[in-house]
Chain A
Amino acid sequence: MSPEVETLVAILVATLRAGTPLVFAALGELVTEKSGVLNLGIEGMMLIGAVAGFIATVLTGCPFAGVVFAMLAGTLVSLLFGFLTLTLLTNQVATGLALTIFGIGLSAFVGLGYIGTPIQGLQPLAVPFLGEIPVLGPLLFRHDPLVYLSLALLAAVAWFLARTRAGLVLRAVGESHEAAHAIGYPVIAIRYLAVMFGGAMSGLAGAYLSLVYTPQWTENMTAGRGWIALALVVFATWRPARVLLGAYLFGGITIVGLHIQAAGFEASSHLLAMLPYLATILVLVLISRDATRIRLNAPAALGKPFHPDA
């Protein structure tokens, strides 16, 4: 392989890895939003997942246990959000912000003794023969299991929302909770499930960062990825397949920035670190410019509280 091809393959593989946590988090939020609930707490849930997964891995020595534990932890804190917004009817925007502030604080507090602890993170699969193929091998067959899981989950969510009855009910609840309630669907229960799915996926996204991507625990290690995932849902106009495109786009921007620096160009790491955030703003502007398109695609009841007697 020529060095140019090798660099290109390395960039693509790294892009995939950088995009995968965004795929998880954005998919979870997409399902939550499709049910009509806006959860701005992804960043907090990701951090809780990251720290919970890391600690579980340190204690058990098994990163798979860490992944499961991270998803449980994410689900648990999302239940807190669900209880406040769905049962106590608090403002979803404010509660989501509270969840993020709480998650940042709690994860920093719980993870204090684990900063710098070395772990054996989740290892890439070693597919015999196929993994040896030049270019295609590293691109397709040498990833860690979670990369494949993210693709499988994406397909599952797309199928669930578009092709199943339960998916249709979920979307109905998100479009008009009054109508869904009148037909007899349990609006609140369905929203609880959607919120919990979002929590589990955010936990998974956090675990990917602390168990695969870095793999270590540092305070506030998500660095805004939870918010980028929120923007991705808008960017994707609430369609699962486009989430994938957006996530890899953002992953790519991060990685290309790193490679520019590695290639010896004089560029401040601080200025390069701005790129994903600036890119997020740019795509939000490009997508949102067409107000009709957002209105047509966004769940109509998004962010509105539901009270059966009101």
Chain B
Amino acid sequence: MWLRLEPRAQASRRLRTAAPLIALALTLASGTVLFGALGQNPILALHTFFIRPIDSLYGLSELAIKAAPLALCAVGLAIGFRGNVWNIGAEGQLTMGAICGGGLALAFYGAEGPWLLPLMVLAGGLGGMAWGAIPALLKTRFNANEILTSLMLSYVAIQLLGYLVHGPWRDPEGYNFPETRLFGEQALLPVLLEDTRLHAGVVLALIAVGLGWLLLSRSFAGFQIKVVGQAPAAAAYAGFSRGRVVWLSFLIGGGLAGIAGLGEVAGPMGQLNPTVSPGYGFAAIICAFLGRLHPFGVLLASLLLALLFLGGESLQMHLNLPLAITGVFQGLLLFFVLACDVFVRYRVRFGRAAVGLAP
């Protein structure tokens, strides 16, 4: 074979940190080529994509607003992926959180009090958790593949949201637009910084990152998750239950995604409409891998993915390029992240193996 991989005796620590950076550099290089091919000045395009959206305080606050739901979802997913539990339905769990939390705001419209917002956060988390509990139940009780069930449930949740905002929950004074009425003042997350939209959901995301780190690195449950993920046989000998890890992963992942959804509707949106999320739940999968399934890494990765969302909008606004570029960059980035991982575990050699050395 023209390309061979020699396993390293020990995974390279240096490359473990460097791999995501190499992946990012490769993505940037591809972006330069892509913009060049589109007939754009690559330097100007890259500047518009990566620098311009965050060259002001307002831009930075927008970055934090977009990173918050990503980090919330991705921390939960990373915990599951560590345990080899493939929850890819964060988008649906996020949507259910938005529906449950937002529904509460609508139910108590005109009768609010300071008690409403905490209840909404709770309802959002529980809604996401309940939606995550379905694939967990189907997996542990009926052995159904969690990748497929969690994803199918995302489609169901999005249709349910569409049904609600087109039908029973539509704003009676909204000229038939498919959206609910605007939430009352006390059903909105407080704004932290004047003249920006920076809301308290960002704090919730930071708390989630901290708790996620505590769980994975400092708790017995986290240890069980990691052992079940890395060495299922050893976990079975130790008596760690795989079912418990599945449940734990889905409840945590679903709950955090639900809070992320609530943060969107009670934060920047202030109402429910058919597109609560521009794909945060799916982009969170990329965050989880880019952040090496570590909560702090996930936080950094969320900031980067948030920048991709903002950069796409900036390109559309200033250079009239399509928003879909964000999706292309997301896919490329994940490809490169996965491919760069190979250098951590293997040495890459070119050319054929020397004859006689092969076992």
Q: Tell me the A residues contacting B by CB distance below 8 Å.
A: 40, 44, 80, 84, 87-91, 93-95, 97-99, 101-106, 108-109, 112, 188, 219, 223-224, 227, 230-231, 234, 268, 270-271, 273-274, 277-278, 280-281, 284-285, 288-289, 291, 294, 307, 309-310
Query: Are A278 and B166 in contact, with the CB atoms below 8 A?
Result: no
> Does residue B7 face the partner (Cβ distance < 8 Å to A)?
yes
Nearest CB on A from B165, distance (A): 9
On whether A280 and B152 interact (CB within 8 A), knowing A89-B5, A271-B163, A274-B159, the answer reads yes
Query: Are B156 and A274 in contact, with the CB atoms below 8 A?
Result: yes
Query: Are B322 and A109 in contact, with the CB atoms below 8 A?
Result: yes
Could you list some 9 contacts between A and B, CB below 8 A? A89-B5, A97-B334, A102-B331, A104-B331, A109-B328, A268-B166, A274-B159, A284-B145, A309-B6
Query: Are A90 and B342 in contact, with the CB atoms below 8 A?
Result: yes
Most buried by A among B156, B330, B341: B156
> Does residue B120 face the partner (Cβ distance < 8 Å to A)?
no
Find chain A residues with CB under 8 A from B330 CB. Answer: 101-102, 105
Of the candidates A80, A101, A109, A285, the one whose C-beta lies within 8 Å of that of B334 is: A101
On whether A105 and B331 interact (CB within 8 A), knowing A227-B152, A234-B145, A291-B143, the answer reads yes
Of the candidates A105, A224, A309, the one whose C-beta lies within 8 Å of that of B359 is: A309
Query: Are B148 and A231 in contact, with the CB atoms below 8 A?
Result: yes
Task: Name the CB-closest residue of A to B334.
Answer: A98
Q: How far apart sit A98 and B285, CA to CA, in the bound complex (Å)?
A: 9
Task: Name the CB-closest residue of A to B312.
Answer: A105
Q: How far apart sit A108 and B316, CA to CA, in the bound complex (Å)?
A: 14
Most buried by B among A104, A274, A280, A310: A274
Q: How far apart sit A88 and B147, CA to CA, in the bound complex (Å)?
A: 23
Of the candidates B166, B289, B334, the one whose C-beta lies within 8 Å of that of A102 is: B334
Find chain B residues with CB under 8 A from A274 CB. Answer: 155-156, 159-160
Q: How far apart sit A90 and B155, CA to CA, in the bound complex (Å)?
A: 28
Within 8 A of A (CB), among B283-320: 283, 285-286, 289
Of the candidates A44, A91, A268, the one whose C-beta lies within 8 Å of that of B338 is: A91
> Does residue B282 face the partner (Cβ distance < 8 Å to A)?
yes
> Does residue B236 face the partner (Cβ distance < 8 Å to A)?
no
Find chain B residues with CB under 8 A from A230 CB. Answer: 148
> Does residue B51 face the partner (Cβ distance < 8 Å to A)?
no
Nearest CB on B from A248, distance (A): 19
Find chain B residues with CB under 8 A from A94 CB. Answer: 285, 289, 334, 338
Query: Are B153 and A281 in contact, with the CB atoms below 8 A?
Result: yes
Q: How far apart sit A281 and B328, CA to CA, in the bound complex (Å)?
A: 30
In which size bucket is the chain B interface?
A: 35 or more
Query: Are B331 and A98 in contact, with the CB atoms below 8 A?
Result: yes
Query: Are A106 and B5 in contact, with the CB atoms below 8 A?
Result: no
Query: Are A271 and B159 in contact, with the CB atoms below 8 A?
Result: yes
Classify the secondary structure of A's interface with B: helix
On whether A106 and B151 interact (CB within 8 A), knowing A97-B88, A268-B163, the answer reads no
Task: Name the CB-closest residue of A to B167.
Answer: A268
On whether A109 and B324 interact (CB within 8 A), knowing A270-B159, A280-B152, the answer reads yes
Q: How far apart sit A241 and B217, CA to CA, in the bound complex (Å)?
A: 49
Query: Are B331 and A101 in contact, with the CB atoms below 8 A?
Result: yes
Find chain A residues with CB under 8 A from B280 CB. Answer: none
Q: How far apart sit A88 and B4, CA to CA, in the bound complex (Å)?
A: 9
Q: How far apart sit A109 and B34, CA to CA, in the bound complex (Å)?
A: 12
Within 8 A of A (CB), among B146-205: 147-149, 151-153, 155-156, 159-160, 162-163, 166-167
Of the candidates A40, A84, A108, A289, the one whose C-beta lies within 8 Å of that of B324 is: A108
Nearest CB on B from A26, distance (A): 13
On whether A285 and B328 interact (CB within 8 A), knowing A101-B282, A101-B286, A227-B152, the answer reads no
Of the candidates A102, A224, A307, the one whose C-beta lies within 8 Å of that of B335 is: A102
Find chain A residues with CB under 8 A from B86 CB. Answer: 93
> Does residue B329 face the partner (Cβ distance < 8 Å to A)?
yes
Query: Are B166 and A270 in contact, with the CB atoms below 8 A?
Result: yes
> Does residue B116 face the partner (Cβ distance < 8 Å to A)?
no
Find chain B residues with CB under 8 A from A89 CB. Answer: 5, 342, 345-346
> Does residue B249 face the partner (Cβ distance < 8 Å to A)?
no
Of the candidates A84, A103, A271, A277, the one whose C-beta lies within 8 Å of that of B331 is: A103
Nearest CB on A from B93, distance (A): 15
Of the candidates A224, A231, A284, A285, the one whose C-beta lies within 8 Å of that of B155 is: A224
> Does residue B325 face the partner (Cβ distance < 8 Å to A)?
yes
Find chain B residues with CB under 8 A from A223 CB. Answer: 155
Query: Are A106 and B147 in contact, with the CB atoms below 8 A?
Result: no
Query: Are B148 and A289 in contact, with the CB atoms below 8 A?
Result: no
Extra contacts besides A89-B5, A94-B285, A270-B162 (13): CB < 8 Å? A91-B338, A93-B86, A98-B334, A98-B335, A102-B327, A105-B328, A109-B327, A234-B145, A271-B163, A281-B152, A284-B144, A289-B144, A291-B143
Q: How far apart sit A280 and B156, CA to CA, in the bound complex (Å)?
A: 11
Query: Are A227 and B151 in contact, with the CB atoms below 8 A?
Result: yes
Query: Are A102 and B88 in contact, with the CB atoms below 8 A?
Result: no
Find chain A residues with CB under 8 A from B341 CB. Answer: 90
Of the candidates B148, B328, B346, the one whose C-beta lies within 8 Å of that of A106 is: B328
Find chain B residues with CB under 8 A from A84 CB. Answer: 335, 338-339
